[in-house]
Each structure stands twice: as C-alpha cells, then as structure tokens.
C-alpha cells in the first residue's frame, strides 16, 4: 500500500470517523453528552481488555524474545522525559513545573493510542508481537517518576506531595487494570480467555469507536485553549511525537521487533499520556498549568497521532525494519 | 425539642483532591462528611480533573472553631494552586453533640 | 401469516415482552430502576447503530432509487403536523400551544419505534430497503419546525425562544448521531462496518430489549396522567397513528418502496417523537402542557404502535403495495 | 483570618434550561457556578425533562445586589412556565473579592 | 421584589429509606422536595446501603413549624437505628406562599 | 478430575481472578472505582440474563421433572433459616434481630454465586437441568419472610415495618427481573431467545467477570470489619455454607437432579443473599447490625463459595449423586 492508501484506510476507519464526529458535536455545540460513567466504564474496559489479551499472548511467548524489547522500552521511558523537558525549557522557555509536566505526559503512554494502533495494523493486515501490552505497562510509570524527579531537583521543594503522587501512580487504575488484566490472562490462558472473548475481544473495536466519540468531544473542548497555549505548544505537540515515534521505531528494530511491533513501539513512544500523567502531575506539580499539558496532550498530539501518526510510524517501520 | 446551632462548611474542589481533603478534614476535627459530584466553572482556567468531567462538593457539620480552622487551612494549602472554593454557614441540628467534637486528633 | 399470527409473533417478541415487564414493574411499585446513565447510553448506542447500519447500506445504494422515497418522506413531514394541529384545535379544542406541541411530536418520528419495526420485519422474514435510516433523519426535524412556526403565526409572540430552539434542534443529539452514524457508515463502507458489527449489529436486538424495559417503566409512569388528559387525547393517541400510518404506507407505495419499506415508512409516519420534539417544544413553547404531549406520545401512541401498530401497518402494506 | 459574607443563590431547574440559565447568570454578574444533578417534585405537574429523569441544582456565590437581580430575573422569566425554584442565603467565605465582582457585563 | 424567609431542611439518609422519608415529608406538610445522590461517612458504622455505594441528600423548603416537626420526627423515628442526619437553616425566596402551606394533610 | 484439578480450574478462571484483582485493588488503595451505575447495570443484566436463559429452557422442560426439585428447594428455604437462626442464637449468643438477619441472608440465595456455579460447571463440562434459575427464584423470598417472622414472634413488636418489607420483597428488582426474565424466555421461546442471545448469552461470562471485579472491591471493604465481627462470625460464614451446601446437594439427589443440578442446588443452599435480604432486613429489622450480616455474607461466605465452595459442592454431588 502507498502512504496515501494507508492514510485513507486509517482516516476512513470507524474509530477515526467517530473521533471526528465527537469534534464536530462540540464545535456545533450539540447537546450530545456521553455520561461520565460511560466514559469511565469504557476506559476500564479498554485497559482490562488490552491487558487480558496481552496476558493470554504472553502465556504463549518465550521470555527469551521478550527481554530486549522490554529493555528498549524502559530505555525510551528514561530518555524521552529528559529530552522533552530540555526542549520545553530551552526552546519553549517554560517554567520548570510546566516543562516537567510536559515531560511526564510525553514520556508516558496513551493506552487508547495503543489500541488504535492495534486496530490500524489489523485493518492493514500486519501482525505484531502479542506481548506489546506489557510494553505499555513498562512505559507508563518511569517517565512520570523521572519528570517529577527533575522538577524536584531543578526547582527545590515544590509544595506538591511527591511521595503521595508516587504511591498513587503505582496503584493507579491504569496500571492496576493493565497489569492485573495481563496477569489474569497469563494465569487463565487461552481456555479462560476464550470464555470471556465475546466481551473482551469481539466488542473491542466497537467499544474503542464509542470511546473515541467521547474523546473527540474532549479534545475539541481543548481546542479553544489553543490560542492561549501559543505557537510553541502547537509545534511541540506535533514535532515531539514524530521524533519520539522515530526513536521508538528505531529502538524496536534494534530490539528485534517485527515491522508491526516496531510500529507499535513507535506509537507508544510518540503517544502522550492522558490518564495517569495528568492525575499524578496535578497532585505533585500543582503549579504547572493544566492548560498547557492537557491541551498539548489531548488537543494536539492525540488527534495528530490518531489521524496521521499511525500510518506515518508504520511507514517508518517499513523503511527501518523492513528495509523497504 | 432543643435545636443547636453548628457550622456547615461546604467545599467545592477538583476530584483529584478527594483523599487529601477528607484526610485533612478528619485531622482538623470533623467527625463526618458528605460528598456529592458536581461540575462547575470559576475564575481559574481548567483544572486537571475537568476533562474527566467532575468536581466534588463536600459538606461537613462542625463546631465554629473547627469550621474556622478548615477555612483557614484550605485558604493556605489549596487556594493558591487548586480549583477549590469553600463557604460556611450556620445551621440548626437536633443533637449538636454529634457534630461538636473537640478540635483535631 | 394471518394477522393473528403476526400479532402473536410481535407480542411474544423479547422486546415487546420487556416493555410489558417495565410496565408491570412500575404498576407493582417495584424498586427496579435503571440508571439514567444506562438509558442515555442505550439511546446514544441505538441512534448510532441505526445510522451506521443505514450508512453502510447507503454506500451500496444507487441514489436513483432513493429520491422518490426521500421526497415522499419530506412531504409527510409537511402534511402531518398541519393535519395533527387542525385536529387538536378543531376537535380537541386545545390551546394553540398545546395543539402545536402535539403537531410537533406526531409529525416527527421515534427512532425506537423504527428500530422495533426493523426487528419485527426481521422476525417475520420481510426485507426492506437499506436506506430507511436516512428517512428517519429526514422526517425528524421539519415537522417540529413547522409546528413551532404554526404556533408563532397563530399565537403571536410566544415568549419561548424560537431561534434557539431551531439551532438546538438541528444540532440535537438524535440528529447528530443518526446523520453522523450514517456518514461514518457510508465513508467506512462494509469493511469498516464489519469491524464494529459485533457491537453495533449483533447486540442491537438485545440492547433494544433492554431499552424497552426502561421505556415500559417510563410509559407506565405516564399512565397515571391519563385520566386528567381526557378522552380526546386517548382517541388522538390511537387514531392519529393509524391515519398517519396509512398515509405513510400509501406514500411509500407511490414512491416505489417494497412491502417492507412501505411498512417502515408507515411506522415512521405513525410514530410520535419522544426525544427531539419534547426538548424543542419545552424551550420554544413553554406554555404547552407536557402532561398532554408526553402522555399522548409516550403513554398512548408508543405502546399502541409497538404492540398493535407494527403488524397493522405491515398488513396495510401487504394490501396496498403487495395487492393482497 | 477575615471572613466576608456573600450570598449563595441556589436554583433547582429542569435540565433543559441549563444553557439558558448559565448564560443568564453570567450576564447578571455571577463569576462562577457549580451544578449538580438532582430529581424532585413540587406543586407543578411534570416537566418535559422529568421523564429523562433529572433536574439541575445550580449554586452561585455572588454579592447581595447580584443575588437580588438573579432572583428577580428568575421570577419573571422562568417561574411562570418552567419548573424552577430558587432561594438565597448568607454564607461566609475567606476571600470575598473573588465572588463580589460588579454587576453584569 | 419582596423576599420571604422560609426554612430549608436538608436530610442525609441511607438510600433504602427514600420512599418512607418522602412519604413522611409529605405527610408532615412539605409541598415539594429535591433529592440528590451523595456518599459519606459519620460516627455510626456501615449501613446496609453503604456497599451499594450511596446515600440520599433530600432538601425541602417549608415553613418554620413544619421544619420543626420534620426534625422532631426524624429524631425519634430514624436517628436511633438509621444512618440519618438533618439540619435546617433560613433562606430567602421570592414567593413564600408556594412553600408555606399549612401543616400536614 | 481430582479435587486439586477442580480447584485449579476454578481458581484460575477469569471470574475468580477478577474477584481477586478487585480485592487487591482495595487492599493497595488503588483509585480504581467502578461507577455505581455500572454495578447496577451489570446486576440488572445478570438477573435478566439468568431468567431469560432459564425461561427458554423451561419452555422445553416437562413439568413432570420439575415438581420434585421445586419442592425440595422450597423445603430448603424453610429449614435453613430456622437452622441458621438457632445456631446464631445458641452458639453465637446473638441478639434476636442479629440472628434473624443472618437467617434471612443464609436462607435466601445469591444469584451471582449461582451464575458462577453455572460458569464453573460449563468449564468442567458438566451438564445441569435448564430450569435451575426457577429454583433461584423459589429460594429467594421464603427464607427472608420466615426469618422476619421469627424475629417478630421471638422479639415482640420490632419498630420496623413488617408489611412494607414484605411488599418490597415480593416486588424487589431481583425477583422481578428473575421471574420476569423467565416468563419472557418462556413466552418467546428459542426463536426469540436466539434474537437476544448475542447480548444475554454470549456476553454473560465476560459481564460476570466484570461484575466480580467490583464485588471483589466490595468484599475487601468488608474485610476491615472482620476483627470487630469476631471469631464466631468467621466460623459461621464458612461452616454454615458447607453444611447448607451438603443439605442442598442431598436434597437435590433425593429430588432426582443430575450431578450438575445437585451441585447447583448445593450452591444455592450454601450461598447467602446480598441483594434482596440486606434491603429487606434493613427496613424490617433496623436494630440488626449490618456490620454482622453484610460482613458474613459478602466478606466471608461469598469469597469462600466462589473460591472453594464451587468445586467442593461438585465433589459432594459426585459422591452423593454419582456414587463415586
Ligand atoms: N462564584 C461561584 N459560585 C459557585 N461556585 C463557584 C464560584 N466560583 C467558583 N466556583 C466553583 O469552584 C470551582 C473552582 O473555581 P475556580 O477556582 O474559580 O476555577 C468551579 O469549578 C466551580 O465549581
Ligand atoms: N418545597 C420544595 N422544597 C424543595 N424543592 C422543591 C420544593 N418545591 C419544588 N421543589 C423543586 O423544584 C422543582 C420544580 O418544582 P415545581 O415547579 O413546584 O414543580 C421540583 O422538581 C423540585 O425539585
Ligand atoms: N459531621 C457530618 N458532616 C456532614 N455529614 C455527616 C456528618 N456526620 C454524618 N454525616 C452524613 O450522615 C451519614 C450518616 O452518618 P452517621 O449516622 O453518623 O453514620 C453519613 O454517611 C454522612 O453522609
Ligand atoms: Na510517549
Ligand atoms: Na410521525
Ligand atoms: Na442459601
């Protein structure tokens, strides 16, 4: 497929179109409003489903092939926040708190972007390693910890409650569901997995579509903050994921991942957290302006990755891993 | 029937603060609380919990001294950085003793 | 099948029985209460699913066969509110506001009655044109606009906010989800449709059953207002859908629709709105008594159409279109 | 700590009025609001939003003058046709200035 | 505009009591009520509805006499065994007559 | 299979693992919190699905084979509360109200434990009579009535509203959905059942898994009351279900049930109610301490039955019915 065809497959997928519908609903000021409880339910479902599927796959994976990608992922979680922080401080002239907040978001990962990547690769017909959800879990926390640590070191006592933030991070629902789901999947194996597949596998893409409808509305509400966020943030929200995506794909190829697996590691690196990071940053770095990190992560990077990033990182993976 | 006057303190706060606020209330001498879910807008911009769509409305019945301590504490520890407001008022209850416990533990 | 058999197929379907269970739950004062959020979620789901399925079908429809039914539907949307208004004013001696409110409800359409009609025809084994959801969208708004316009002309300035009501109507969630779903379905085509079919197609009848359980409770709560609503409203709520249903079937046959398609157009004409119309009327015609229009639409016409109307309009379509 | 007295106006209204009411509040000089979801019954019969199961409970902290304007406005623009009630009371806050902005914009 | 003072009685109660409480309120002379969903903690241990996660917050605007009757009734009929608290306060409304109906029916 | 293998099949099933994850989430104080509305929705769904499936099966059952098990079940509903009350009074030295409350809970039944038993037997590959859900409905109410009656007779006027409690019991949502679902299933038969099977059958195990995640959190919150509940309650919560389970299996074998059916009757007898009984007891016996009956039923007996009870009662059924 050419990149145009890939873009078309992606942009005309139900999930991207539902995201666009959500944006439109907000822009025309529709009274459409998904209940908060539905949003919460879908996000719990998606995390658990990703974990379960990954766990079942892990049960059939030799750990020998898993260590290199795991290390590569951990490494990404250490480099990206430092890189993002420097860019935000030096080029963006941001305060320590704001720069560290951005670093936490871009170093961590968005599980929904990951799910969208899986769906995209399925539609294109590309296979990927089954243990990828484990990489999501590995990438989620370290970057946030490092970013908070940078803020602590660079800024002196911050008022925020550092230790509390760390505890909440490790026991946060996204980690708990992802890792818990993986352990359940791993313990119960294919037989147990088959019992719950009608809910956790068959309905996955439909649920993701529903979720993206809501996320489109959320993202569009962030659009109105774009002007006050400024040009730097717009550029950061687009160029940062491209660079991180490239890094991720490259690390994936070094770690011996397939084209599909490298694509996904690229997506993980490129994606910005919007569940774990905001909650942790809000508590540990209350001075950081949510108008910056939420707008960048949800209003710019998420739509960019969803619409353009997925086919882009796949194309990069084809070049780098596939040698095409 | 004898009615006693106690203070009702109401706090509107972003959801992410729930645990901390309830902990603080208990520490300052409140013997109970009631929490509802609300949403709202104020003078500050967005807060991190906004896009998750909710804030908390916490009510606690306390004696006047504890009420003052709570407002004081919120003003110094939360108002500067968080989307939090609070107000107090007099209300009548039947059994004042239940709410009038001593300050802090 | 005889009409008795048709009635039996319909009355013993899970959806009608669930509706009856909802009525019973309210009458025996059970503590059963579906969460509001579930109700909202199901109605969003149903509208989106109807739209999606219609859109995928539309992608495979030649527009040549679509224009006549579309025009016939638009025409129904213009005639029925005028007709309903006259009847309510002349025979029912209602106030301008109350008559216009009824006209808005009966001229517009109930998406759930439409979904029930599809399910009924599927159970009987009758095929219908795939583009019927587009007709739902076409029929939803015009009648409400016309009814509000009648009230404006007949009653002078009404206090209600006309323009605001119109804007809210066009951007209302039912239109947005229905039309949005159709466009998504149309753009993504059968391939994208297949990805989300487990959620949006396979679960449709079950979700409709669940929804009708709730709607049965809602309808039964309206029953207690029946006495104060009076005999006219009772008659209106039953005779109006029959006449409108006949009109709809006839227009359908003129527009070249199949027996199934004409049945559905009859159902659309016969059905009374209970999402878009109440919201618009409440804002634009606050003097109108909701005790009248909600009771007629939800407490009388909806149960009548669900239980008796569906087989009736199908029988009419057999006679008129099928020549039997 | 200095406490100031401001007015807390609470409005219970059918859900369909949300946008209009919040717009009116802003227009009359309120600088913030908090909304919760409730249900209820009064002397009027059903209202259109009833079967969708909910009403709104809107709270706004304002100065006395704005409070009076809000009650006045609700009484003339909403009470006749809509299921709306409202009440006002005095409450103490820490930083009165936040809520005591001038009337209207 | 003339403002009248009426009493606002607020009751926090475990959800299982909804029907009984609303029935009692009506019986004691309240002409309307508003119910919200909350959760909370007090001095009593768990209550049966706790694990279903919610309590009710019932508000009713009544005249002073009815308010006193309601508080009295709650204190004798519910406080001993149920997780219920209640408090009353003065509020200003535009049309007092709506809420000031005679006591009981 | 040996009992070790059975235990393993059970403990490594997705539903038991999800329950464990819920417990862990509470113990580590995670911010994971399922919306109350999801909980309510899932419990409505499970009850309706159990009823529907049972009703469809009942439509194909000869009533001749149904009377003996029905009578045996009714009998269990009369004996168990008397037995449980005596134990709680004599051995536990509990107050009349507390003992009667426990009797109501242990005499009645937990629909979720029933669902878990079905899932367990399916996983092991054991068949059971299709009309078992009818036995759930039969066992639900009588024990509660008897327990309240005992309290009335033993304790004189109790302050609680007896008649109101009874009415609410009979119209309670669990009875209404279970019996209503059965009637719907019975009337609509296999054809209607097939229409809604994707929702009510295929998704059942997944939904149960989700539900148990929440119930794990609920149960774990009860753990902290264990110390104050005392040793008697801990013993009661484990030994009572074993004795009742044995009784149930034995009655099942006398009534001619298969091994699977006897297992399930054992599970029903062993299970303690946590929907209908708490609500009824709270109203009729407000002096009873919920810290006792909720902790015993949800914090001890439910986890015990789920983890160990299911394979245990099955093994008992193998011995007693299967003669192995
Ligand atoms: N004047 C006000 N009246 C009522 N609620 C307010 C007011 N101002 C702020 N709030 C509430 O307090 C939260 C935080 O306000 P702020 O810190 O001003 O952004 C808002 O989301 C509102 O829920
Ligand atoms: N006396 C009252 N006390 C508390 N809330 C009331 C009272 N009367 C009315 N309400 C609330 O206001 C809404 C509209 O009342 P009404 O316009 O009297 O039908 C009701 O749905 C209640 O939520
Ligand atoms: N001091 C208090 N302030 C606010 N709400 C309270 C207070 N004490 C109790 N409550 C509420 O009343 C309910 C029952 O309290 P209790 O009967 O003390 O367990 C709790 O769940 C809280 O919602
Ligand atoms: Na990242
Ligand atoms: Na119509
Ligand atoms: Na039992």
Torsion of CA E64, E68, E69, E71, to 10 degrees: 130
Question: Does the structure show a pLDDT above 90 at D98?
Answer: no
Question: Which segment, A153-162, A226-235, E41-50, F14-23, is predicted with the most confidence on average?
Answer: F14-23
What are residue E57's phi and psi, to 5 degrees? -120, 105
Q: Which tokens is F12 given? A: 């490594």
Mean pLDDT score of chain A, rounded to an integer? 92
Chain F residues whose beta carbon lies within 8 Å of the beta carbon of residue E20: 161, 164, 283
pLDDT at A156 over 70: no
Interface contact C290-D53, CB threshold 8 A: no
Contact present, A165 and A148 (Cβ < 8 Å): yes
| Chains D and C physically touch (3 or more Cβ atom pairs below 8 Å) | yes
Quick check: C26 contacting F, CB < 8 Å? Answer: no
* Cβ burial, residue C284 (10 Å; 0-12/13-18/19+): buried
Give the tokens for residue B96.
């004042």
Taking the Cβ of residue A124 and every Cβ of chain C, the question of whether any pair is shorter than 8 Å is answered with no
Per the structure block, which two tokens stand in for D94? 């820490």
Pocket probe for ligand 3: among E85, E86, E87, the residue whose CB has the most ligand atoms within 8 Å is: E85
Residue with tokens 């949502």: F173
The finding on whether E40 has its CB within 6 A of some atom of ligand 3 is yes
Ligand 2 midpoint to CA E36 (Å)? 13
Q: What is the pLDDT of residues A206-234, one digit of tens each?
A: 999 999 999 999 999 888 878 877 899 99
CB-facing half-sphere around the CA of F290: CA atoms within 13 A:
25
Instruction: With a cut of 70, list the residues of chain F below it in pLDDT.
Output: 156-162, 324
The b/e string for B58-74 (b: 16+ C-beta within 10 A; e otherwise) is bbbbbbeebbbbbbebb
- Of F20, F18, F51, whose CA–CA distance to F207 is shortest? F18
Q: How confident is the model at residue E104 (pLDDT cuts 50, 70, 90)?
A: very low
Range E3-94 classified under CATH 2.40.30.10? no
Measured CA distances, F119 to C97, F122, F196 (Å):
57, 5, 19
**Chain A contact set for B84 (CB, 8 A):** none
pLDDT tens-place string over residues F276-316: 898 888 888 888 998 899 999 999 999 999 999 999 999 99
**Helical axes A3-11 vs A111-124, angle rounded to 10°:** 120
Rounded CA gap, F118 and F127, in Å?
A: 9
Full-prediction pTM beyond 0.90? yes
Q: Interior CA angle at D42 toward D39 and D43, to 5°?
A: 155
Separation in Å, CA C73 to CA A131, C65, C70, C142, C171: 53, 14, 5, 10, 21
Could you report how far apart the first and last alpha carbons of chain C are, in Å? 12
Interface predicted TM-score (ipTM): 0.93
Contacts of D4 (CB under 8 A, 6+ apart): D92, D93, D94, D95, D96, D100
CA dihedral defined by A101, A107, A112, A114, rounded to 10 degrees? Answer: 170
Spatial distance between the Cα atoms of D38 and E60, rounded to a whole number of angstroms: 13
Label residue D61 left, alpha or beta by phi (over 0 means left) and psi (-120 to 50 means alpha): beta
Least confident span in A157-171, A243-257, E18-32: A157-171
Q: Is B60 in the pocket of ligand 3 (CB under 6 A)?
A: yes
Cα A306 from Cα A11, distance rounded (Å): 9
| DSSP letter, residue F181 | H
**Spacing, Cα B87 to ligand 3 middle (Å):** 19
Helix ranges (H only) for F125-275 are 132-140, 142-155, 162-170, 173-197, 204-223, 226-229, 231-254, 259-270
Q: Which chains touch C (3 or more CB pairs under 8 A)?
A: A, D, F
Average pLDDT for residues A291-313, to the nearest whole number?
A: 95
Alpha helices in A61-95 (DSSP H): 67-86
pLDDT in tens, A37-84: 999 999 999 999 999 999 999 888 887 889 999 999 999 999 999 999
- In the predicted model, what is the mean pLDDT of chain D? 87
Q: Two tokens at B11?
A: 């706090």
Residue E103 in contact with ligand 3 by CB distance below 6 A: no
Q: What does pLDDT average to over chain C?
A: 92
B16-29 as b/e, with b when 16 or more CB fall inside 10 Å? bbeebbbebbbebb
**Closest Cα partner for F32 from E81, A174, D26?**
A174
Maximal C-alpha separation, chain C:
54
Atom number in ligand 2 closest to CA E30: 1
**What backbone phi and psi angles, to 5 degrees, belong to E14?**
-65, 145
Count of pairs with CB atoms under 8 A, one residue in A, one in B: 42
Q: What phi and psi, each to the nearest 5 degrees, are found at residue C225?
A: -90, -5
Beta carbons within 10 angstroms of residue F91's beta carbon: 11
Please name the residue that has the structure tokens 């006259």.
C86
A36 and B53 in contact by Cβ < 8 A? yes
CA F219 to chain centre: 15
Neighbours of B44 (CB within 10 A): 17
The chain F residue lying nearest E16, using CA atoms, is: F279
| H-run or E-run covering C104 | helix C96-107
Dump the DSSP string for C40-94. Answer: HHHHHHHHHHHHHHHHHHHTTS-GGGTHHHHHHHHHHHHHHHHHHHHIIIIIT--
D48·C222 Cβ contact <8 A: no
Predicted pLDDT at C256: 95
- The secondary structure element, H or E, covering residue D58 is strand D55-62
Partners of E4 in the beta sheet?
Answer: E93
Nearest ligand for residue F139 CA? 6
Residue E105: which pLDDT band, with cuts at 50, 70 and 90? very low
Using CA atoms, how far residue F300 sits from D54, D105, F12, F238, in Å, is 38, 61, 20, 7
Alpha helices, H only, E1-105:
18-28, 64-77
Q: Are D33 and D56 in contact (CB under 8 A)?
A: no
Asked if A176 lies within 8 A of F30 by C-beta distance, the reply is: yes
In the three-class reduction of DSSP (H, G, I as helix; E, B as strand; rest coil), residue F312 is classed as helix
Nearest by CB to residue C290, choosing from D17, D46, D53, is: D46
Ligand 3 atom closest to residue E42's alpha carbon, by position in its atom list: 18
Atom of ligand 3 nearest to the CA of E44: 19
C5 touches chain F (CB under 8 A): no
Q: Which residues pair with C303 in a beta bridge?
A: none
Q: What is the pLDDT of residue E88?
A: 98
- 3-state class of F63 per DSSP? helix
Going along chain C from its start, the domains and CATH numbers come out as: 1-9+34-321 (1.20.1530.20)
Q: Which of these, F215, F277, F237, F203, lies nearest to F52 by C-alpha position? A: F203
Q: What tens digit of pLDDT does each residue of C138-193 get? A: 999 899 999 999 998 887 655 556 677 778 888 889 899 999 999 999 999 999 99
Cα-Cα end-to-end distance for chain A: 12
Residue A297, pLDDT > 50, answer yes
Contact C247, C79 (CB under 8 A): yes
Convert F267-300 to b/e letters by CB count within 10 Å (16 or more is b). Answer: bbbbbbbbbbbbbbbbbbbbbbbbbbbbbbbbbb
Q: Which of F61, F63, F106, F53 is nearest to F81 (CA)?
A: F106
CB contact under 8 A, B68 and D1: yes
Half-sphere exposure of E90 (CA within 13 A, CB side): 6
CB contact under 8 A, A196 and F202: no
Residue E75 DSSP SS3: helix
| Chain B: touching chains (3 or more CB pairs < 8 Å) | A, D, E
Q: Mind listing the pLDDT tens digit for each residue in C84-137? A: 999 999 999 999 999 999 999 999 999 999 999 999 999 999 999 999 999 999
Cα–Cα distance measured from residue F321 to residue F251, given in angstroms and rounded to the nearest whole number: 10
Integer Cα distance of C302 and A196 in angstroms: 37
CA of C113 to the centre of ligand 5 (A): 10
How many Cβ atoms sit within 10 Å of the Cβ of residue C160? 21
Taking alpha carbons only, the member of A197, A201, A183, A202 closest to residue A59 is A183
Residue D104 confidence (pLDDT): 41
Phi-psi category of residue D58: left, alpha or beta, with phi > 0 → left and psi -120 to 50 → alpha:
beta
Phi (first) and psi of residue F28, to 5 degrees: -90, 10
Best probe of the C interface among F171, F177, F277, by most C CBs < 10 A, is F171
| E-contacting residues in D 46-65 (Cβ below 8 Å) | 55, 57
pLDDT for res F250: 97
Interface contact A25-C196, CB threshold 8 A: no
> Measured between beta carbons, which residues in chain F are less than 8 angstroms from residue E54?
36
First to last CA, chain D: 31
CA separation for the pair F277, F289 (Å, rounded): 13
Q: What is the residue extent of each domain of chain E?
A: 3-94
CA of F278 to the centre of ligand 6 (A): 14
C180 close contact with A: CB closer than 8 A: yes
Here the tokens at position C293 are 């229009």
Alpha carbon separation from B33 to B56, B62, D13 (Å, rounded): 12, 10, 26
Is F205 close to A187, i.e. CB distance below 8 A?
A: no
DSSP F96-107: HHHHHHHHHHHH
A28 to chain C: nearest residue by CA?
C171
């Amino acid at each position: 497929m050419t990149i145009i065809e890939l873009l078309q497959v992606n942009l005309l997928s139900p999930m991207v179109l539902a995201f666009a519908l959500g944006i439109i609903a907000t822009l025309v000021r529709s009274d459409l409003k998904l209940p908060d409880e539905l949003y919460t339910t879908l996000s719990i479902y998606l995390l658990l489903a990703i974990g379960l599927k990954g766990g079942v796959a892990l049960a059939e994976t030799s750990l020998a092939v898993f260590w290199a990608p795991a290390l590569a992922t951990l490494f990404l979680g250490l480099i990206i926040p430092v890189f993002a922080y420097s860019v935000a401080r030096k080029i963006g002239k941001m305060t320590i708190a704001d720069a560290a907040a951005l670093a936490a978001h871009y170093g961590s990962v968005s599980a929904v972007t990951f799910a969208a990547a899986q769906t995209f690769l399925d539609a294109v017909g590309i296979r990927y390693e089954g243990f990828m959800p484990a990489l999501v879990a590995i990438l989620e926390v370290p970057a946030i910890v490092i970013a908070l640590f940078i803020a602590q070191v660079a800024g002196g006592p911050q008022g925020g409650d550092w230790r509390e933030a760390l505890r909440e991070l490790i026991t946060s629902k996204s980690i708990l569901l992802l890792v818990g789901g993986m352990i359940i999947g791993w313990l119960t194996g294919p037989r147990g997995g088959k019992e719950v597949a009608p809910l956790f596998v068959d309905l996955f893409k439909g649920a993701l579509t529903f979720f993206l409808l809501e996320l489109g509305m959320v993202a569009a509400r962030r659009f109105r903050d774009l002007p006050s966020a400024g040009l730097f943030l717009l550029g950061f929200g687009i160029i940062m994921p491209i660079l991180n995506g490239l890094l991720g794909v490259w690390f994936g190829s070094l770690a011996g991942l397939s084209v599909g697996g490298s694509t996904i590691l690229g997506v993980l690196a490129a994606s910005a957290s919007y569940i774990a990071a905001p909650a942790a940053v809000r508590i540990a770095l209350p001075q950081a302006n949510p108008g910056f990190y939420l707008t960048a992560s949800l209003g710019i990077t998420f739509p960019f990755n969803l619409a353009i990033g997925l086919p882009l990182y796949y194309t990069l993976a084809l070049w780098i891993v596939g040698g095409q | 029937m004898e009615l006693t006057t106690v203070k009702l303190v109401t706090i509107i706060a972003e959801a992410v603060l729930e645990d901390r606020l309830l902990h603080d209330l208990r520490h300052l001498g409140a013997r109970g609380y009631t929490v509802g879910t609300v949403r709202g807008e104020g003078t500050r911009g967005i807060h991190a919990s906004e896009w998750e769509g909710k804030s908390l409305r916490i009510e606690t019945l306390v004696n006047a001294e504890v009420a003052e301590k709570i407002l004081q504490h919120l003003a110094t520890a939360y108002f500067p950085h968080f989307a939090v407001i609070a107000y107090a008022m007099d209300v009548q209850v039947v059994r004042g003793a239940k709410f009038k416990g001593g300050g802090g533990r």
